[in-house]
Chain A
Amino acid sequence: MSTNNDKQTALAPDDVGDNAIEAKETEGLSQSKIVFRKFLRHKGAMISIGVFAFVALFAFSAVGFGPIPGWWIYNHTSSGQIVNAGGAPTWSFSNFFSLGDHPFGQDDIGRDNFARVMKGTQISIIVMIIIGLVCLVIGTIVGALAGYYRGWIDSVLMRVTDGFIILPVIVIGSILGKLVGGANGPLLGLALGAILWTGLARLVRGDFMSLREREFVDSARVAGASDFRIMFKHMLPNAMGVIIVNTTLVMSQAIVLEASLSYLGFGISPPGISLGQLISEYQTSFATRPWLFWWPGLFIIVIALCVNFIGDGLRDAFDPRMKTIPSWRKMKKAERMTQKGTK
C-alpha cells in the first residue's frame, strides 16, 4: 500500500490559502474507512444487514412497541374467530396473491400467529442486543485491564473464565433464568450477558497483551502518556476489530441461547413472549398445527444467520491478512485475452 509515495516527498510551496484544500486532497483513507469498504464488498454481510434491518423494522412496527401502536390489526394477546380449519394460515394464491386475515395462521384459541411471532421477534431482538451490550462493556473493560496490567487482575479473570467454561452455558443459563426469568426479557438479557462476557474478555485480553508489546505503545509511554491514555486512546482503537467481531458473534449465540432457555421453560415464560417461548408453548401441536412451530423457528434462524454473516463480514473486513477475494474467472479471462494478444 505504501508503494512509490516517495515521489510526493518533494516539498510543495506552502500556500496558506490552499492548505486546507491540499490537506483534504492528501487525506488518505483511515483504517476504519478501509475496513468499512472491505465490509461493504462482503456480499453475504450486506444481504444479511438488509434482511436483518427488514425483519427488525417489521417486528417493531407491525405490533407496536411500548405505547406506540403498530399497523397490524391484531396484537399478540387478542383472540378472535378461528378462520381456517384448525387456524391454518390464510394466505393463498387466489386472486394472484392474498394474505387473508391471519397469514401465519392462528393458535388453538384463535390468537393471531403473525402478531405473536412479531412480538416474540421484538423481545428476542431486545434480549439479544442487551446481551451484546453487557458483554461489550464488561468484556472490554475487564479484558483490557487484565491484558494491560497482567498480574493478579489477569489471574482473577482467567480463573473466573475457567469457572464459566467448565459448565455449558445452557446449564448456568437455566439456573440464572430460573432466578430472574419469567416474563421479563431485559432482566434475562442482563443475566445472560453476565455469563457470556468471559469469552470476549479473554480475546480482548489476548489482543491487549500483544498490543502491549507493540512499539507504538512504548513510544506513547515515552511521549509521556498515562496508562489510561495508552489503554483507551492508543490500544483500544487497535483492538476494535476483535471487540466488534466477537460482540457480533456473541449476539448470534445469544439469540439461540435465549430461544433454547425459553423452550426449556427457564427463560421467558407466559405471559411473556419470545420466539423460543412460542415454540415451547406449541411444541405438542406440531402434528396438527405445524405453522405454529415453523414461523417462530424460521425467524430465530433468519436472525441468527444474519448476525452470523454480519460477524463473518466484519471479521474479514478487520483481518489485515484478508485481501479482497480475487475473481478467478476474471483472471482466467484476462489471461486468455493476453495470450490471444501475444499470439
Chain B
Amino acid sequence: MTRFILRRLLSTALVLLVVTFVLYLLLNVALDFFWDLRSSTSPNIEALYESRRRLLDLDTPAIVRYIKWLAGVGGCVVGQCDFGIAWKSGQEVTSQLQGAIANTVKLITASTIVAIVLGIAVGMVSAIRQYSGFDYFITFVSFLLYSLPVFWVAVLLKQYGAIEINNFINDPTMSSWMPIILVCIGLGLFWMGALGGSRKRRLITFLAATIITFATIYYILASGWLQQPSIGIVGVVIIGLGSAVVMTFLSTGLKNKRVLYATLTMAAIGALLYMPLQYLFYYQEMNWLWMIGLLIVTVAVAIGVGLAFRGPDPWDTVRTTFFTGLTIAVLIFSDRVLQGWGEYSDQPAINNRPIATIGASTPNLEGDFWIANLDTFTHLLLPSIALILISFASYTRYTRGSMLEVMGQDYIRTARAKGLNERTVVMRHALRNALLPLASIIPVDIITMIGGAVITETIFGWNGMGKLFIDSMRQSELDPIMAYILITGLLAIIANLVADFLYAVLDPRIRVNA
C-alpha cells in the first residue's frame, strides 16, 4: 500500500512539474505584460517599456525564467519560499497567499462536506425509490443543477438570498401567503415521496410534513424569530431527542431498545449540561482550542455512555451515541453562536444587514469569539450554497447509480434470503459497497469545486485563491498565477491521496492485495 501511494505521489508530482512548465510557457504568450502601457500617451513610453522589461526579466528566455521560478519555489523545502512578486501591486506572492489559501480551504471544505452528506442521502433514497415520482423529481433537479452556470446562480443568490432577505429582516411584511403555502405543500410531497410506503402511510406523511412545515414557518414569522434567531434550551432538547431517535433508527433500528435508551441518555445529558455550559461560555473567553477540548469531552462522554449501556454489541451502541453526541454538541455550539445575533446585527459595520454578499469577513468588526464565528458563517453562507448546489447534483447522481448497481448484486439477494430487514440490507450491505466507487469521484469533484470557487469567489469578493487567480489573470501578473496553479495542483494531489486512502479503508480487497 505504502509503495503504491509513494509511486502515485511521485508520478503525480512529475505530472505537476510538466504542467507548470507547459503553462508557464503558455502564459508567457497569453499574458500581455504591457497592457497598461498600450494606451499610454506618456512621452517617455519607451523608457517605461524598458523598465517593465527589466522588472519582469523579459529579455531572459522563458525557459530560464521558469527554472529560476522553480528554484524560488523549491526554496519552500528549506523554509524560504519565493513565489515571486505580483508586479502590478508590487506585493510578494507569499504574502498574498497567506489568507487566500485558508479562505479557499474553508470554503471548499464546508461545501464539500455538506454536498457529500446531502448528495449521498438524497441519492440513496432516490435509488431505493427507483422510478417513483420522487426519483423522477430528484433526477430532474439534479439535471437542472448540472445545467446551471455557477455565476448565474451566484448573482441570483446575491439578489434573493442576501439583499431581499436582509430587506425582509428589516421590514418583515409579506404581500401574500401563497408562496409559503406552496412551499409547505412542496415539502409535504417531498417527504411523502422520500419515505414512501402504502397509500395510507404516504397520505399521513404528506399531511404531517405539510402541517409541521407550516407550523414552523408560522412560528418563525409570528415570533419574530428571523430578527432574533435562537435555538434555546427547548430547541436543544427537542432536536436532541429527535436526533437520538433518528440516529438509532439509522444505526441499529428502533427495535434495539438498549441503543435507543443510550442515545436518549445522550440527549438528556446534553439538556442537563446546557445551562452549565452557558455559564462557562459567559465567564471564560473561548477560542478554538477550548472548542476542540469540549469536543473531545463530548466524544469521551458519548463513548462512556455507549459502553455503559453496552449490550451485546458495545461498539454499535458507541457508534450511535457518538453520532448523537456530535449532533448535540454542534447544536449547543450553534445555539451559542446565534445568541450573538442581536449584538452582531446592531453593529455599525453590519448595519442590520446580516447576510453578507462581499468578502470573507467584515472589516472593523468588534466582538468576541462567538461574534467572529457568526461573522464567518454569514459570509460563508452564500458562496458555499452556490458551490453545494452544483456538486450536490453530481453526488446524488453517482450515489443513485452506484446504489442501483449494488442493489442488483447477488450478495444483496443473499442478505435478504438470510432474513435481514430492509434497513439492514440497505445500510449495512448496500451502502458500504455503493460508497466504494464514490471514493474515486470525490477528488474529481473537489477539483471541479475548486474551479467553481474561482467564479464564486470572484462574484462574492471572497479573498481566496480563485479570486487571486482571476485578478492576476486580469492584471497579467504571472507569478501569482503560477503560485495558484502549483497550490491547486498540490491540493488536487492531496485530495487524490485521501481518496486512495479512503478506498483502501473501505475495500478489503485493496487493503490486502496491495
Chains A and B belong together in one complex: yes
Binding site for B on A (CB under 8 A): 44, 159, 162-163, 165-172, 174-176, 178-179, 252, 256, 259-260, 263-266, 276, 279, 283, 286-287, 293, 297, 300-301, 304-305, 308-309, 312, 325-326, 328
Question: Which chain A residue shows the least CB distance to B491?
Answer: A166
In the complex, are the beta carbons of B455 and A312 less than 8 A apart?
Answer: no
Q: Which residues of B are found within 8 Å of A162, using beta-carbon distances?
A: 11-12, 15
Chain B's interface size range is: 35 or more
Q: Given A260-B455, A283-B155, check contact A175 B26 (CB 8 Å).
A: yes
Chain A CB within 8 A of B167 CB: no
In the complex, are the beta carbons of B147 and A170 less than 8 A apart?
Answer: no
Q: Given A260-B149, A308-B147, check contact A168 B473 (CB 8 Å).
A: no
CA distance A256 to B390 in the complex (A): 12
Q: Which residues of B are found within 8 Å of A171, using beta-carbon distances?
A: 451, 454, 469, 484-485, 488
Q: Given A163-B19, A170-B451, A174-B473, check contact A297 B152 (CB 8 Å).
A: yes
Q: Which residues of A are found within 8 Å of B451, using beta-carbon distances?
A: 168-171
Q: Closest CB of chain B to A98's CB: distance in Å?
A: 28
Q: Which residues of A are found within 8 Å of B485, using beta-carbon distances?
A: 167, 171
Q: Which residues of A are found within 8 Å of B458, using beta-carbon distances?
A: 264
Q: Quick one: CB contact mask for B23-50 with A, threshold 8 Å, 1 for yes?
A: 1001101110000000000000000000
Q: Which residues of A are found within 8 Å of B238, using beta-carbon distances?
A: none
Q: Given A159-B11, A166-B447, A174-B473, check contact A259 B149 (CB 8 Å).
A: yes
CA distance A286 to B481 in the complex (A): 30
A interface secondary structure, majority: helix
Q: Which residues of A are found within 8 Å of B30, using beta-carbon distances?
A: 175-176, 178-179
Q: Given A297-B152, A300-B149, check contact A263 B15 (CB 8 Å).
A: no
In the complex, are the beta carbons of A279 and B152 less than 8 A apart?
Answer: yes
Q: Closest CB of chain A to B261's CB: distance in Å?
A: 40
In the complex, are the beta carbons of A168 and B450 less than 8 A apart?
Answer: yes
In the complex, are the beta carbons of B143 and A308 less than 8 A apart?
Answer: yes
CA distance A252 to B148 in the complex (A): 11
Q: Closest CB of chain A to B15's CB: distance in Å?
A: 5
Chain A CB within 8 A of B318 CB: no
Contact residues, B484-498 vs A (CB, 8 A): 484-485, 488-489, 492-493
In the complex, are the beta carbons of A179 and B26 less than 8 A apart?
Answer: yes
Most buried by B among A166, A176, A260: A166
CA distance A300 to B143 in the complex (A): 13
Question: Which chain B residue shows the least CB distance to A199?
Answer: B444
Chain A CB within 8 A of B114 CB: no
CA distance A294 to B31 in the complex (A): 32
Most buried by A among B151, B448, B458: B151
Of A167, A259, A260, A265, the residue contacting B488 (CB under 8 A) is: A167
Q: Which residues of A are found within 8 Å of B23, using beta-carbon distances?
A: 172, 175
Most buried by A among B29, B451, B488: B451
Question: Which chain A residue shows the least CB distance to B484?
Answer: A171
Q: Given A159-B11, A179-B30, A260-B151, check contact A166 B143 (CB 8 Å).
A: no
Chain A CB within 8 A of B102 CB: no
Q: Given A171-B469, A174-B473, A264-B455, check contact A252 B146 (CB 8 Å).
A: yes
Chain A CB within 8 A of B275 CB: no
Q: Given A260-B150, A266-B473, check contact A293 B155 (CB 8 Å).
A: yes
Chain A CB within 8 A of B144 CB: yes
